[in-house]
A = this chain, B = another copy of it.
Amino acid sequence: MSYQIAVLAGDGIGPEVMAQARKVLAAAEQRFELNIEYSEYDIGGIAIDNHGCPLPKETLAGCEAADAILFGSVGGPKWEGLPPDSQPERGALLPLRAHFGLFCNLRPAKLHEGLEHLSPLRADISARGFDLVCVRELTGGIYFGKPKGRQGEGEAEEAFDTMRYSRKEIRRIATIAFETARGRRGKVTSVDKANVLACSVLWREVVEEVAKEFPDVTLEHIYIDNATMQLLRRPDEFDVMLCSNLFGDIISDEIAMLTGSMGLLSSASMNESGFGLYEPAGGSAPDIAGKGVANPIAQILSAALMLRHSLKQEDAAAAIERAVGKALSEGFLTGELATDAAAAKTTAEMGDFIAKAV
**Which of B195, B202, B229 is close to A254, meaning CB atoms less than 8 Å apart?**
B229
Residue of B nearest to A153 (CB): B167
- Tell me if B253 and A225 are in contact (CB < 8 A): yes
- Tell me if B228 and A254 are in contact (CB < 8 A): yes
The stretch among A61-69, A158-166, A266-274, A327-335 that forms the contact with chain B is A158-166
* Given known A-B contacts A152-B166, A155-B166, A250-B225, A84 and B195 have beta carbons under 8 A apart: yes
- Tell me if B89 and A199 are in contact (CB < 8 A): no
**Which of B126, B143, B164, B258 is close to A160, meaning CB atoms less than 8 Å apart?**
B164
Instruction: Give Cα A154 to B120, complex, Å.
Output: 45
Q: How many copies does the complex hold?
A: 2
Residue of B nearest to A194 (CB): B84
CB distance from A305 to the nearest CB of B (A): 21
- Tell me if B196 and A90 are in contact (CB < 8 A): yes
**A148 close to B (CB within 8 Å):** yes
**A123 close to B (CB within 8 Å):** yes
- Tell me if B155 and A168 are in contact (CB < 8 A): yes
Name, among A154, A158, A171, A249, the residue most crowded by chain B CB atoms within 10 Å (CB to CB): A158
Chain B residues, Cβ within 8 Å of A228: 228, 250, 253-254, 257
